[in-house]
Chain A
């Protein structure tokens, strides 16, 4: 049993990064991420963490430097969100396709315009094709634990992909709750520094990221596809081992009261906690509702989701980001609907768009969504809404 500390999500993550004994931190501040790198700079300054802490002039540089650091074999960390993540975009693809491991934390925040520092999943979803393994936590404890899982998975020689861990801006990053932290020895024993990838070394020269003309480029894409698939096995092994060592069991998805559910809400992130609390209340009134939280977003756990929802009549998929012009409305709905279809299931879906740009989400919003599901649960597919339903917006 580790030590329980009252920590905001950002500080929790900083403690985890320290415990993983990172070698290089590249930092550029942006709300609500700033206090992660701020705390890490204190750890470095007071000697608790022996790492290069690099203040850079932009997020673009933050990830460029991270690529260089990982390329020489350093355990590398950075954190960002929103516009900062958008500025990193071209480097995200370079990092993953060179197959360099690192951990990057996104403290989920809306994208401009209008300028908005508050929480939604627009930034996270905007990089979902970048070839990174992607997880989203729902508590500060989980945000902490994702860092340990992240390094273990990223540096596994069967994977060698960078990992994005994430938490909701403010709702987790700045909310204090109890977090159990493990000793540095325990963290390193769980996620040992393996230097398992090809690194830049003057004695054994290699070239990284050169031109890949049409006779090679395609194969790089294909190889990453395979590595991403393989990473699921490694994720499952890592979460098993994590549970054995630390007593907390994570899975690609978290299901709640789905066994006999007629309707269910699928979503991601910390608001799923409020949905679970709603399910508890609704169950007392005899409403057969359940919930499913997607933790692992890349690789997407399609089969797990289909299996968990196979007996549900109607699923409401809540997206906290918008895919304008798409019939699905949001990224998660798109993925979940495809997963159900590929599994040959009759389970129907409705898309909900909720909580964009920090718009408050409450129990009443959950009730509204569940009422929609109950009204439509016995209708045919043709009778379902053709567009996502926007929850809590002024029309």
Chain B
């Protein structure tokens, strides 16, 4: 098992159509394949393509009783750079020492300038560019899973790839695995 110590909670921010719920599902599936207990929690509204979407993960070595949304995440993943215009809800509740993982062309320092938090680790990845290169579509969910596990080390690459194989139609497996591996390598953390 990789580096999961106690409870680890994640909040995903994206927009409808980017596959945020699938990203949380993949993360939970990979965690369960790693022998952990995990939840993937979508939030449901009147689903519209393009509208802000939030999803959550809880991962633990023990059974999780809680059923409410994550309030103080250990990691926040921002899958859409356009969401940065309103940074407050993105950073809300993020634990000191936690991780903020952003899909952006900007540098870590520029992102830190937006959020003004010195007590969290910031990770950047240009996932939109990677997805356009590999998938020819701006669907960044799998790239962000790769960035997440690389930055936080909560899960290793193998169970994530296994999760993609189990949950994706076969024609989508190879490009998404490639995308995850690229994001895993290219993410910058500071």
| A interface residues (Cβ-Cβ under 8 A, vs B) | 4, 6, 32, 117-118, 168, 170-171, 174-178, 270-271, 273-274, 276-277, 360-363
For residue B71, CB closer than 8 A to chain A, the reply is yes
For residue B29, CB closer than 8 A to chain A, the reply is yes
Among the 9-residue stretches B31-39, B73-81, B135-143, B171-179, the one with 4 or more Cβ atoms under 8 Å from chain A is B31-39
Among the 9-residue stretches B9-17, B61-69, B148-156, the one with 4 or more Cβ atoms under 8 Å from chain A is B61-69
Chain B hits for A361, CB < 8 A: 68
For residue B28, CB closer than 8 A to chain A, the reply is yes
Q: How far is the CB of A176 from chain B (nearest CB, A)?
A: 4
Among the 9-residue stretches B40-48, B106-114, B126-134, the one with 4 or more Cβ atoms under 8 Å from chain A is B40-48
CA distance A32 to B67 in the complex (A): 17
* Interface range on chain B (Cβ under 8 Å from partner): 20 to 34
Secondary structure of the B side of the interface? mixed
CA distance A274 to B39 in the complex (A): 14
Is B71 a contact partner of A362 (Cβ separation < 8 A)?
yes
Is B66 a contact partner of A170 (Cβ separation < 8 A)?
no
Chain A hits for B38, CB < 8 A: 6, 176-178
Most chain B C-beta atoms within 10 Å of own C-beta, residue among A6, A32, A171, A177: A6
CA distance A103 to B64 in the complex (A): 28
Which of the residues B24, B32, B65, B68 comes within 8 Å of A276, measured between beta carbons?
B65
Is B71 a contact partner of A170 (Cβ separation < 8 A)?
no
Chain B hits for A360, CB < 8 A: 68-69
| B interface residues (Cβ-Cβ under 8 A, vs A) | 24-25, 28-29, 32-33, 37-42, 44, 64-69, 71
Chain A hits for B25, CB < 8 A: 6, 176
Which of the residues B28, B44, B68 comes within 8 Å of A117, measured between beta carbons?
B44
Is B67 a contact partner of A4 (Cβ separation < 8 A)?
no
Known: A274-B66, A361-B68. A175 touches B32 (CB 8 A): no
Chain A hits for B32, CB < 8 A: 4, 6, 177-178
CA distance A360 to B44 in the complex (A): 12
Q: How far is the CB of A190 from chain B (nearest CB, A)?
A: 23
CA distance A276 to B68 in the complex (A): 12
The 5 closest A-B pairs by CB, nearest first: A273-B65, A176-B40, A6-B29, A277-B65, A6-B32
Chain B hits for A274, CB < 8 A: 65-68
Chain B hits for A362, CB < 8 A: 68-69, 71
Chain A hits for B67, CB < 8 A: 168, 171, 175, 270-271, 273-274
Chain A hits for B33, CB < 8 A: 6
Is B65 a contact partner of A177 (Cβ separation < 8 A)?
no
Is B28 a contact partner of A6 (Cβ separation < 8 A)?
yes
CA distance A165 to B131 in the complex (A): 43
Q: A175-B67, A176-B28, A274-B66 are in contact. List 15 more A-B contacts (CB 8 A).
A: A6-B28, A6-B29, A168-B67, A170-B44, A174-B44, A176-B24, A176-B25, A177-B40, A271-B68, A273-B64, A273-B66, A274-B67, A277-B66, A360-B68, A362-B71
